[in-house]
Amino acid sequence: MTHTPNDTRDRPLDDAEVALLRADFPILEQEVSGEPLAYLDSGATAQRPRSVLDVERRFLETDNSAVHRGAHTLAALATEAFEEARETVARFVGAQPAQVVWTANATDAINLVAHGLTAATLGRGGEAARRFALRPGDEIVVTEAEHHANLVPWQEVAASTGTVLRVVPVDVDGVWTLADAAAVVGERTRVLAFAHVSNVTGLVAPVEELVALAHGVGALVVLDACQSVPHRPVDVTALGVDFAAFSGHKMLGPTGIGVLVGRSELLDALPAFRTGGSMITTVTLQTAEYLPAPQRFEAGTQPVSQAVALAEAVRYLEAVGMDRVREHEEALAERLVTGLAALPGVRVVGPPAGVARSGLASFVVEGVHAHDVGQYLDAQGLAVRVGHHCAQPLHRRLGVAATTRASTYLYTTTNEVDRLLAGVAGVRAYFGAEAVA
């Protein structure tokens, strides 16, 4: 890593230091459509620094082996690296190693919890799992702004158990409040599932207050932390959530690995989602006994090199400083929202300028489909996300089929934001939408 001398870590990130950071990311050195690449799609997948790429390659070249299985030297080295990675990630989010379960991604992590509740309702898991059993008429609460990964699993739980899925509504800008949640959460609520940060609006949810609300009626809290853990300091223990899920590929790490963090007493009682090898103690032809958490949820061949690389991504973020990452992105978001809102015919969804949001902004250009906006910007070297961002109900409430989303990260410069604003300013004239308006 070539950046962040010790004497700068108490100061905000500026363009000079961001330029040093960018030198760590080989992919950012290229041009697209003859223009320098401005990668503004980190909300979907973040880029990886050389140190992360190098650590995974080095592991594969020198230590690659199955973990928790062999007695030979490589197996021991691989197992040590694998569990050290778990410790590193756990520390990063304020948890203990036994509370960190490796999953395929955040969607997989949320499904692990959802299917565990269904299994408990069907009588699996024994006496310890009865605390998770759902009854007809019990309620699961989500928000209208959720990513499909934190909505569809709960639809399936409701359909399988006879519970009722209730929804916290959003307003015309896609925003919801603690008061909106309080109007829906009630004595029948058994689960409250919501995103810490919306992947469409950038809204930052009041997690601690929502935890108090849910726990006040005996409900579990499942936090989608995909857009928060990579971008701001997150301490799951301090927040008080019961489960939290996030993905490696959104935080400078590899694809194919996610994390479920859970309270220890809950993980130890939750029935396993997947079954097979690696997560059992004793197997007969009729029955099986499972290892304690977290191994009981890690059936099959584990994502070993991915875990090692994710730990290096965590070390990279820690070296920069997560408070500095958050401050940098919030400043870029303010610049984005203020600039976009000033453009004729452009509607920004989510919190207005002046209200803290994460470092992303989704917008609609009047008279131009989001896909056309994205292609026009791509021709200028500007990589953005277009579509419904796996949040169709939210877009339905917004009254649009799709939005264009620009999302930032620690390697994003103010110049790239300004290039985006200049690009969006030319969209309506290029497509003749000004004449239509």
pLDDT digits (tens, 9 = 90+) for 85-136: 999 999 999 999 999 999 999 999 999 999 999 999 999 999 999 999 999 9
Of all residues in the chain, the percent with pLDDT exceeding 90 is 91
Over range 384-404, report the average pLDDT: 97
> Do the beta carbons of residue 142 and residue 170 sit within 8 Å?
no
Q: Where in the chain is the domain with CATH 3.90.1150.10?
A: 6-48+321-436
Of all residues in the chain, the percent with pLDDT exceeding 70 is 97
Query: What confidence score (pLDDT) does residue 3 get?
Result: 52
Over range 297-306, report the average pLDDT: 95
> Do the beta carbons of residue 233 and residue 251 sit within 8 Å?
no
Tokens 């739980």 — which residue?
157
State yes or no: pLDDT of 5 exceeds 50. no
Over range 130-158, report the average pLDDT: 98
pLDDT tens digit string along 304-363? 999 999 999 999 999 999 999 999 999 999 999 999 999 999 999 999 888 888 999 999
Query: What confidence score (pLDDT) does residue 71 get?
Result: 87
> Domain 6-48+321-436, what architecture?
Alpha-Beta Complex (3.90)
pLDDT tens digit string along 415-436? 999 999 999 999 999 999 875 5
> Which of 419, 418, 406 shows the shortest CA–CA distance to 379?
419
State yes or no: pLDDT of 251 exceeds 50. yes
Overall size of the chain counted in residues: 437
Question: Rounded to an integer, what distance in angstroms lies between the CA atom of residue 85 and that of residue 90?
Answer: 8
Query: What confidence score (pLDDT) does residue 306 get?
Result: 98
State yes or no: pLDDT of 2 exceeds 80. no
Which one of 280, 291, 390, 400 is the catalytic residue?
Answer: 390
390 counts as catalytic: yes
- Residue 69 pLDDT grade (very low, low, confident, very high; cuts 50, 70, 90): confident
- Residue 174 pLDDT grade (very low, low, confident, very high; cuts 50, 70, 90): very high
Query: What confidence score (pLDDT) does residue 1 get?
Result: 58
Mean pLDDT of all residues in the chain? 95
Query: What confidence score (pLDDT) does residue 9 get?
Result: 66
pLDDT tens digit string along 25-48? 999 999 999 999 999 999 999 999
Query: What confidence score (pLDDT) does residue 331 get?
Result: 96
Query: What confidence score (pLDDT) does residue 277 get?
Result: 87
CATH numeric code, 56-318? 3.40.640.10
Query: What confidence score (pLDDT) does residue 8 get?
Result: 61
Q: Where in the chain is the domain with CATH 3.40.640.10?
A: 56-318
Question: Rounded to an integer, what distance in angstroms lies between the CA atom of residue 322 and that of residue 317?
Answer: 6
Query: What confidence score (pLDDT) does residue 278 get?
Result: 85
Query: What confidence score (pLDDT) does residue 301 get?
Result: 92
pLDDT tens digit string along 195-230? 999 999 999 999 999 999 999 999 999 999 999 999
